[in-house]
Chains A and B, each alone.
Chain A
Amino acid sequence: MKPFADLLDRLSYTPSRNAKLRLMQEYFRTTPDPDRGWGLAALTDGLPFSFPLRRTLGEMVARRVDPVLFSLSRDYVGDTAEAIALTWPDPEQASAAPRLSEIVSELALVDRNALADLLGTWLDKLDATERWALLKLLTGALRVGVSARLAKTAAAAMAGFEVEQVEEVWHGLAPPYEPLFAWIEGRAPKPDITDAPVFRPMMLSHALEDPDWAALDLSQFAAEWKWDGIRVQIAAKGGETFLYSRTGDAIQRSFPDVVDNFRFDAVLDGELLVMQEGQVASFNDLQQRLNRKSVSRRQMEKFPAHIRLYDALMIEHEDLRPRPFVERRAALERWHARVRPPRTDLSSLIEVASKDELQRLWASTRETGIEGIMLKRRDGPYIGGRPKGEWYKWKRAPLMLDCVLMYAQRGSGKRSSYYSDYTFGAWRDVPGGSRELVPVGKAYFGFTDAELLEIDRWVRHNTVESFGPVRAVAPGLVLEVAFDAVQKSTRHKSGVAMRFPRVHRIRWDKPAAEADRLESLIAMIEG
């Protein structure tokens, strides 16, 4: 338990992605099987059990710690599980603490009524950090700032692999992942997952830059709308359907309204959208359906999910990935016409005669649900990862607004001595003839290191109030903010929420009084 507890402890305090990767790699490198595999499971899909322990733990601690002292401790610490871990009596002498794998295998078999006793004997043998880690593990939520993908990235990097290589085999394997580590360490071949409905690494696009556009021969590319949903891969086989996000997370449990109707054998690529009366709804509506463990009937009725398909990786037993895009597309069309899976349609191709025409279309389209245009090489195979020169995304030009810096917050990690996270506002009138700034968004990138240094200095010289890591500044610095869209929001004071805001330019030259008004932003709301 010690190595895993130490890892969780360090991770919980480490903000930097690279540092987290290094800590996890160190753990995988120095911890033997099967413990490290269970560690990886805990960091990714979670362990296959969780226990409602609140009552049990309360009773257990009451038998060991004076109730008044425990209550004062819990109030001070602010977290019951941590207070239990800290106040639980330490072992009299160093005894053999259980290994993570022992804990997991005993938990898999334990009778609910015997759980308290088992847990007590473990806690008696563990130190404070281990007790804290065990309680986190049992209650299901680690919350150490590590995504499943990051943990897989760390494992992959041990062998110099890309994370996609691990993603590809991931859903065909089960904890404690011994074949995975054997492969990573070069002791065994790649695990065989041919027949499992597993995640296949997705083909990703590059942003279309001006030189790309200039050099592009449109006859070699197919054009499609870029839909403003989330990219998904549908992997269905034998009545079982997985819906994978771009990062390989299985999300089908949130979308029974689409997957429960699928009865086919294929691996398809498409966009998950919310469709209302035949129209693509805003991303805001889609967000109501994301990151939910369970979904209510009401949500499914109000925000019906739909998948717009644009590519096929496998149909029945045939792996289409080596075939050119146009052939895969034709196969997808034939298959869709034959199978007609409900709640799906095909993303139509845009037929244009010239680059000029396409550019006009790109510049003029501001329809809800469309983010821009995709360009895909007609003769290109389906390659996992982000191959060069194959697929381009041509996002429509961003919206812009001149905003006034209102608050600056210190960043984390490398940026912890810099005020690098900015909340900015737009003007609005208040009764009595004056006006005020109302916050409209927050951005923490879009500027160079040299600009960061300058803004940091400006913030320090123009602070009017400090709240911990946050400084309120005098209205004096105008930021030209770029964003992809703006939507109504009841969660924000301004009543609007920007999508993907970033600092486009710093307008040192522009007086704050001449920055934009909230009305201008509201006028940009679509639909």
Chain B
Amino acid sequence: MQLPQKFESWLRRDAAGLCCAPGGFHIDPVRAVPRAIITHGHSDHARAGHGAVLATRETIAVMKARLGPDCASTFQETRYGEPIEMNGVTVRLAPAGHILGSAQVVMDHGGRRAVVSGDYKRRSDPTCAPFELVRCDLFVTEATFGLPVFRHGTDDHEIGRLLTSVRTFADRTHLIGVYGLGKAQRVIALLRAFGYERPIWLHGALKSMCDLYAEAGVELGPLAMVADAEGKLPGEIVLCPPSALKDRWTRRLTEPLTAFASGWMRVRARARQRGVELPLIISDHCDWPELVQTIAESEAEEVWVTHGREDALVHQIGLMGKRGRALALLGYEEEEGE
């Protein structure tokens, strides 16, 4: 039986976020710190102003593209699985399956192992490396969808609904709200996997990340910019950031039928608040069963919950006979809600 203080002695929460004291670094800090490990490129995890940043090559590319080439003083690229010594803490990154380049941080110290998952998902995603299960003593998990109501269903089902709707309403534009990093490219790749070969039209804000994915070798097929369209795109599929769904920008489309691809769409009130006509439950986070499954498979005796609906997940962890703790980290879940 471990003493409760065991992990707190080298991994703790401070004002900047989660800090590994002996290693001298933070993980996804919300304030500028001398040394940061960044799990993935979403803006609530990857912020500008740090001294040294350690991350995967893809995450560093995303950071430079979104935050500017000088968003940190120095960058250190690492490959998945490559061990790095940091003052007696052995660190390596493992794929998290969340978006391109996303990583879990695996730390070995004093014969004990902690894994900080970052944001992660278990189901297959053609645009990024699959989640790697790492057994550990302490597992630090997110809880974005940490309620039993969140069960995502299959991507096939959701893409099938979208394509059925495109056939039923062939005279309208299907406008899908997607987060620019990860979700946009995943939805495109899923459509391609379903045999959808027409050009997929993009809002200007989505271009740079799609280019970045394409350069990283993710097949996205023919993409076109709405700004270059000749007509009002009836019958076509258009992707835009969620904030543009109700914008005046949509007037250049034909009676747009608004869809939104997100795990939140499982809850009707959420979809209605956004005025979404076709909610698509496609998420880059674990749903509830996957969270529970991962916690069980990690074999960790202790589980910390960083952000999200932590009450329910901590309760569940207790039901599983493990020690759970809510870190209540602030500042996450801010990139347009997922």
Chain A: residues with CB nearer than 8 A to chain B?
6, 10, 12-15, 19, 22-23, 26, 65-66, 68-70, 72-73, 76-79, 82-83, 86-87, 90, 127-128, 410, 412-414, 416-417, 469
Contacts and interface: CB of A to CB of B under 8 A. Distances in A.
Interface stretch (B48-56, B71-79, B102-110, B266-274): B266-274
A450 to B, nearest CB: 13
A13 B271 contact: yes
A58 to B, nearest CB: 16
B267 A19 contact: no
Nearest to B276: A13
Given A13-B277, A19-B169, A416 B246 contact: yes
B164 to A, nearest CB: 9
Interface string B228-266: 000000000000000000111011000101100000001
A449 B306 CA distance: 50
B151 interface: yes
Given A86-B151, A412-B275, A417 B168 contact: no
A19 B168 CA distance: 9
10 contacts: A69-B148, A72-B147, A72-B311, A72-B312, A76-B147, A90-B151, A410-B246, A412-B275, A417-B248, A417-B250
Interface string B107-149: 0000000000000000000000000000000000000000111
Contacts of A410: 246
B147 A19 contact: no
Interface in B156-183: 161, 165, 168-169
Given A13-B271, A23-B168, A83 B277 contact: no
Contacts of A78: 269
Given A73-B147, A417-B251, A13 B272 contact: yes
B207 interface: no
Contact of A76 (B255, B257, B309, B319): B309
A76 B248 CA distance: 32
B232 to A, nearest CB: 13
Given A86-B149, A87-B149, A417-B250, A69 B272 contact: no
Contacts, number: 82
Nearest to B271: A13
A65 B149 CA distance: 11
A78 B270 CA distance: 11
A18 B248 CA distance: 22
A27 B85 CA distance: 62
B234 to A, nearest CB: 14
Contacts of B268: 12, 77, 79, 82
B198 interface: no
A514 to B, nearest CB: 32
Given A73-B148, A76-B149, A76-B309, A416 B275 contact: yes
Contacts of A66: 315-316, 319
B277 A77 contact: no
Interface of B: 147-151, 153, 161, 165, 168-169, 246-248, 250-251, 255, 257-258, 266-269, 271-272, 275-279, 309, 311-312, 315-316, 319
A376 to B, nearest CB: 40
Contacts of B255: 413-414
Contacts of A19: 169, 257, 277
Given A19-B277, A23-B168, A417-B250, 5 more contacts: A66-B316, A68-B315, A70-B148, A87-B149, A410-B246
B258 A76 contact: no
Contacts of B151: 86, 90, 128
A281 B188 CA distance: 62
A412 B246 CA distance: 10
Contacts of B169: 19, 22
B266 A86 contact: yes
Nearest to B319: A66
Contact of A69 (B250, B277, B315): B315
Contacts of A72: 147, 309, 311-312, 315
Nearest to A468: B273
Contacts of A128: 151, 153, 266
Nearest to A88: B148
Contacts of A12: 268
A86 B267 contact: yes
Nearest to A6: B161
A169 B168 CA distance: 29
Contacts of B148: 65, 69-70, 73, 86-87
Given A14-B277, A69-B147, A26 B269 contact: no
Contacts of A87: 148-149
Nearest to A410: B246
Q: Which 5 A-B pairs have the closest CB atoms?
A: A86-B149, A87-B148, A72-B312, A73-B149, A13-B277
Contacts of B278: 10, 13
Contacts of A90: 151
B269 A77 contact: yes
Contacts of B246: 410, 416-417
Nearest to A70: B148
A416 B99 CA distance: 32
Contacts of A22: 168-169
Contacts of B168: 22-23, 26
Nearest to A83: B149
A253 to B, nearest CB: 31
Contacts of A26: 168
B334 to A, nearest CB: 19
A428 B72 CA distance: 60
A77 B311 contact: no
Nearest to B269: A78
Nearest to A82: B268
Contacts of B276: 13
Given A66-B319, A73-B312, A86-B149, A15 B269 contact: no
B226 to A, nearest CB: 14
Contacts of A10: 165, 278
A72 to B, nearest CB: 5
A69 B169 CA distance: 39
A148 B258 CA distance: 26
B23 to A, nearest CB: 35
A413 B251 CA distance: 12
A456 to B, nearest CB: 8
Given A15-B277, A26-B168, A416-B258, A77 B250 contact: no
B159 to A, nearest CB: 15
Contacts of A14: 277
A76 B279 CA distance: 18
A15 B272 CA distance: 11
Contacts of B147: 69, 72-73, 76
Contacts of B161: 6
Residue from A6, A10, A127 having most chain B Cβ neighbours under 10 A: A10
Contacts of B309: 72, 76
A82 B266 CA distance: 10
A10 B165 CA distance: 10
A82 B268 CA distance: 8
Nearest to B279: A13
Contacts of B319: 66
A465 B173 CA distance: 32
A12 B267 CA distance: 13
Contacts of A414: 255
A387 B272 CA distance: 41
Contacts of A413: 255
Contact of B267 (A6, A65, A69, A77): A77
Contacts of A76: 147, 149, 267, 309
Contacts of A65: 148
A38 to B, nearest CB: 22
B322 to A, nearest CB: 15
